[in-house]
Amino acid sequence: MQRNLVMTVIGDDRAGLVSALANVITAHRGNWERSQMAELAGKFAGILVVTVPAEQADELIAATRALDGLLDVSVHEGARPAAAGEKPRHLAISVLGNDHPGIVHELSSALSSRGLSIDKVTTSTREAPMAGGMLFEAHLEVRLPRDIEVSSIRSDLERIAAELLVDLEIDERHDAAS
């Protein structure tokens, strides 16, 4: 039997961090399945899913403590994979506009108020060409329940985008976000 472990990692950015973590996982028969990692403000941060034989899980978790000083690792038990069936609907939402506080708050509050779950979010800022200042860009993958109409969500988000003065793109997808 396999266990799913979700690990979060953070440490001062330097060469060899991913390799050190991969060595620990491999030494305990773990399989690195999915991850998202990045350098952020001089720190290396990430989250990953590892499957490991149940009898090796506790040893793997203990071995991650040996990375202290290099990486701080938190390990959480993951859920079992969902049974095969109908693929969920998702919305891909992209936002671009002048950077200012509150953009993520407004978007996430609108989605949360409708009971929608954000599966993935990436954000960044960059210099605005010719206009000066900074641009904020966000990409969200949102899981949709079967009973919700995209048009009602779209109108909420379009109203917010107009208030925030940002460009908005929304695309409905009928497959899993990845």
Name the band, by pLDDT with cuts 50, 70 and 90, for residue 82. low
Mean pLDDT for the stretch of residues 43-49: 97
Return d(Cα 53, Cα 3) in angstroms, integer: 6
Which tokens hold the place of 2? 């396999």
Cβ distance 176 to 82 under 8 Å? no
* pLDDT value of position 178: 46
Percentage of the chain beyond pLDDT 90 is 81
Return d(Cα 90, Cα 174) in angstroms, integer: 6
Return d(Cα 15, Cα 91) in angstroms, integer: 36
pLDDT in tens, 123-176: 999 998 877 899 999 999 999 988 888 998 999 999 999 999 999 999 998 764
Asked if the model's pLDDT at residue 177 lies above 50, the reply is no
* pLDDT value of position 61: 96
